[in-house]
Structure formats: C-alpha cells, structure tokens
Amino acid sequence: MAQVWYFEIDMEHIEGKDPRYELDFGECINLLDLSPKRWRSDPEKFPQLKTGNPVVDDSGYVCVYARVFSDEIQNSGFADEWKPGWYFSPITVISAEKKLKSKK
C-alpha cells in the first residue's frame, strides 16, 4: 500500500509519526495528482520539503506526500514509469482530505 503523509514544511523526519492514509498506489496517483516527475527521494530518505522561496518556507505550509515502496510498484504494474520513493502532491491538504475521506 502507498502511504499518504501531511508534512509541515519545516519537518525534518517522520520518527514517531504515522501515515495519514494507506491505499492502493493506482488510487493514490489519481486522487493526489501524482506523476513520475513529482518524485523527490528514495523511500528510506526523508524528502527535502523547503522550496527555497522564503514566502513559502516561512509560511507554515503543509505539504501532501505519498510514499511508495518497491513491492507496491511491482505489484501494481507501474514499474515501467515509476520508482519507489516519496512523491510530492500539488493538491492542498483540504483537497486531499475531501478526496481521501470519500474513499473510506
């Protein structure tokens, strides 16, 4: 299963935290508007959240990320285009909540 996480932009690790949701990677792609170009880092390495834009980085912005491991990539048939790792979602937390809660 792919994991959906919400990160405050100044977070640096996920130790002691749990994913917000877990769902099929194919659903995750569609609901969170993911693409292979939105890959940020390997699944074991925490992604760089800061954008370099002080307006965003100092705003307390909350990011939506999906983490997918190699077994989920292989089992879902996406191995040709996708690789394991953290993927940034361009949608807001509010939009993500609406979409994900409707899947429950």
- When the pLDDT of each residue in the chain is averaged and rounded to a whole number, the result is 90
Q: How far is CA 86 from CA 30, 35, 69, 71, 95, in A?
A: 16, 11, 9, 14, 19
Q: Residue 13 is part of which domain span?
A: 2-101
pLDDT at 100: 85
pLDDT at 104: 60
Residue 41's nearest CA partner among 76, 12, 77 is 12
Residue 69's nearest CA partner among 56, 78, 59, 60 is 78
Distance of alpha carbon 25 from alpha carbon 16, whole angstroms: 23
Domain count, the chain: 1
pLDDT of 56 over the 90 cut:
no
